């Protein structure tokens, strides 16, 4: 699903019209329509604003398919499965902390056994 398709689906699910989103972004209805029809790409900050108005996560729009958005006239590639990568990094951090906690607990128990 393209970014435009995701924007349109989220807007329709909230029962908003294009004019409402355009006003919230300070752009014309035609400009917003071009976003939904994949004729132009919104800036990343605009995607953030759209997500706020639609009460959605930016990742809802940028995860999954490989999508590009404009940011200061430069194309920024949003990698496929962006959300999965971030979630994996978070899990790794959590497991590393659990391992440190377990190591400390083992050291403490060894210390107790050594005292007896």
| CA dihedral sign, ordered 49, 55, 61, 62 | positive
Residue 25 DSSP one-character state:
H
Q: How confident is the model at residue 58 (pLDDT cuts 50, 70, 90)?
A: confident
- The CATH number of whichever domain residue 29 belongs to comes to 1.10.260.40
User: Number of folded domains in the chain?
Assistant: 2
Rg (the chain; Cα; Å): 22
Instruction: Copy the structure tokens of residue 28.
Output: 């014309």
Residues 56 and 111 both lie in one domain: no
- pTM of the prediction? 0.56
Q: Cβ(20)–Cβ(49) under 8 Å?
A: no
pLDDT digits (tens, 9 = 90+) for 86-105: 556 666 777 788 888 888 98
Residues 60 and 85 both lie in one domain: no
> CA-to-CA distance for 103 and 116, rounded, in angstroms?
21
pLDDT digits (tens, 9 = 90+) for 11-57: 999 999 999 999 999 999 999 999 999 998 888 888 889 999 998 88
Residues 45 and 88 both lie in one domain: no
pLDDT of residue 35: 93
Residues 70 and 92 both lie in one domain: no
Q: Return phi, psi of residue 84, to 5°.
A: -65, -40
Q: Cβ(32)–Cβ(21) under 8 Å?
A: yes
Residues 75 and 85 both lie in one domain: no
Find the domain containing 105 and state its range. 81-116
Q: Cβ(41)–Cβ(68) under 8 Å?
A: yes
């Amino acid at each position: 699903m393209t970014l435009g398709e995701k924007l349109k689906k989220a807007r329709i699910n909230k029962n908003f019209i294009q004019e409402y989103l355009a006003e919230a972004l300070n752009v014309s209805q035609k400009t917003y329509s071009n976003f939904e029809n994949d004729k132009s790409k919104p800036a990343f900050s605009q995607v953030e604003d759209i997500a706020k108005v639609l009460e959605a996560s930016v990742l809802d729009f940028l995860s999954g398919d490989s999508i590009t958005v404009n940011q200061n006239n430069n194309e920024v590639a949003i990698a496929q499965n962006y959300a999965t990568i971030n979630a994996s990094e978070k899990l790794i951090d959590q497991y590393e902390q659990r391992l440190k906690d377990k190591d400390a607990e083992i050291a403490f128990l060894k210390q107790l056994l050594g005292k007896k």
